[in-house]
Amino acid sequence: MASARSCVRAALAVLVACLAAFGFLAADRPAIDAQGTGAFLTGSYSNAAGTRAYSLYVPSGTRGQRLPLVVMLYGCTQTAADFAAGTKMNALAERDGFLVLYPEQDPAANAGRCWNWFEPAHQARDAGEPSIIAGMTRSVIAAYRADAARVCVAGLSAGAAMTVVLGATYPDLYAAIGVSAGLEYRAASNTAEALVAQETGGPDPNQQGRLAYAAAGGAARVVPTIVFHGKNDATVAVVNGHQVIAQWAQTDDLADDGRDNASVDDQPEQSLPGQVPGGYAYTRFVYADRRGDPLLEKWIVETMTHKWSGGSTAGSYTDPAGPDASEEMWRFFRARRR
């Protein structure tokens, strides 16, 4: 007699095939991820802006529960499998029971597999790559009956910058965002400006915060944000991590009550130093909303360069000596509901 696990896998395969037939998505056979016993599915999503492939981790034992969903956007040159291995997010999903979606950039859209966060065509709602990722997210929510109130997005580098764009343009979809070595909203509008912003920071964060608020239109809402940045990052300088928090403090200030009145600001209520045993020192800054509840977090990791903090060397751009960004982002996300 087939094992219960085999039955679950077979049921997932049938479900994916049926969904593909009805046009929700196009999917391949499930494979089993090395970091967990759940299914790591591959598929694609299309809309008027284009088509992108994806991988989706479904934890074992899933039987119709309305699970949270975490969308993970990798950095330049990476792949979904590489990012999953490096961040260990699938292992967390298996342990705590949530879905993980890894959109894949098309090399035809960017030769370095970077998300095009720096191009105006990909910085607005219902356009370009943000519309594809948001549409893919909604498709997965519908197909797997995910909890639509507990959907978050996180990214590294170019993926982190696109995560900020998604937080600004789809705050009605994503309950919270995680930004690792990223940049503020619309830090650049072309490749040359992107390189300058990475080295020296983008425009005034208050100005960009107002632009992010405007980008949301009638969907504007306060977006909880957690930032990780290496202090010695020479690819995306640490000033960008500070600017991401300052930008979101301004955006959330406006979204809070429609007024620029410092109901949310970029002055931390707590500065908490820490040390990874045998690894790096870090400082965790916590910023509150107008009620005094934690809303924003910033982790500055001493010594770390352009890496995913606390990741596994099984993937690229990771540094196991830092605090575990995946664990902390999931801790931050699981407390949020849209």
Tokens of 263: 């109901």
Contact, 217 vs 191, CB < 8 A?
no
β-pairing verdict for 151-156 and 176-180 = parallel
Question: Interior CA angle at 168 toward 164 and 172, to 5°?
Answer: 120
CB atoms within 10 A of CB 335: 13
Report CA dihedral (121, 154, 222, 24) to the nearest 10 degrees: 70
111 exposure class (CB count in 10 Å sphere: 0-12, 13-18, 19+): exposed
Q: What is the DSSP string of 215-248?
A: HHGGG-----EEEEEETT-SSS-THHHHHHHHHH
Is residue 326 annotated as part of the catalytic site, yes or no? no
Among candidate residues 157, 180, 309, 326, the one labeled active-site is: 157
| Active site positions, annotated | 157
